Amino acid sequence: MPDPLSALIDLVAEGGVAVLSGAGLSTESGIPDYRGPTGAARKFAPMTYQTFTRDAAARQRYWARSHVGWQVIGRAEPNPGHLAVAGLQRAGLVSAILTQNVDGLHQAAGARDVVELHGSIDRVVCLDCGQTTPRTDLDRRLHAANPSFEALAAAVNPDGDVDLDDASVAVFRGVDCARCQVGMLKPDVVFFGETVPAARVDLCFAAVGGARLLLVLGSSLTVMSGRRFVLRAAKLGIPVAIVNQGPTRGDPYASLKIDAPLGTVLPDLAAALSLAQSGSSNVP
């Protein structure tokens, strides 16, 4: 019986792989996950859309914490796992990359046509005029509005913010939309209480339905946002392989489960397949 990595190599080697990635893929880039080994215990509950739009004090607290967190997230670099996924895509083995992450590290690693299920933290949208701008623009404006703002954070949270004390939050000044001057700015991510756009979900379902294998990377599949794609694959008879540290709610549907760091498994997978392809190309 082949070892788990060999079995994964055999599955991926046939191509047609749809990748579904979660926070566990980015932990080796310094971004903790929610529920895995690096998951951070946080003082505050995650922001909900309803609270963000209705409570000015909550928005101020969010942007103060997110402004500090962005100094870490904005400098994060793709790790060997991201690079391996991009390499598998370039090799023609990965047909789709669907991610629950908002950090943009798949694209930074060179991946193309990534479907960001929950949006991206490196974009900001005005809820009044609809303009979308790069997060780097907002970062410059917030630095200008808060020239003496200093806050130290022990660790960034999975959704890109940090825990700050009330005194630090109280002196922070937010900014409105630069175009319409009055619009409420929000990161272009799906907050708790929001719904993922239907067209984006349909795109993901189509990618899964057209795949030969669904490969889940670094997701506990605790919430239905990601688990529904595993359920769809299982319903269609499409094999599911999972690489994650710790159990997932998709384990009962997986034909292969590897409990190991992605930064080890994925480079080994990519290297083995690269060697296999190089070998096959030399066959007379």
Q: Just list the catalytic residues.
A: 118
Sheet with 213-217, edge to edge strand ranges: 115-116, 94-99, 17-21, 213-217, 240-243, 256-258
Which class for 70: exposed (0-12), middle (13-18), buried (19 or more C-beta within 10 A)? buried
DSSP annotation of 129 reads T
Contact 19, 91 (CB under 8 A): no
Which class for 8: exposed (0-12), middle (13-18), buried (19 or more C-beta within 10 A)? buried
Contact 234, 252 (CB under 8 A): no
DSSP annotation of 162 reads B
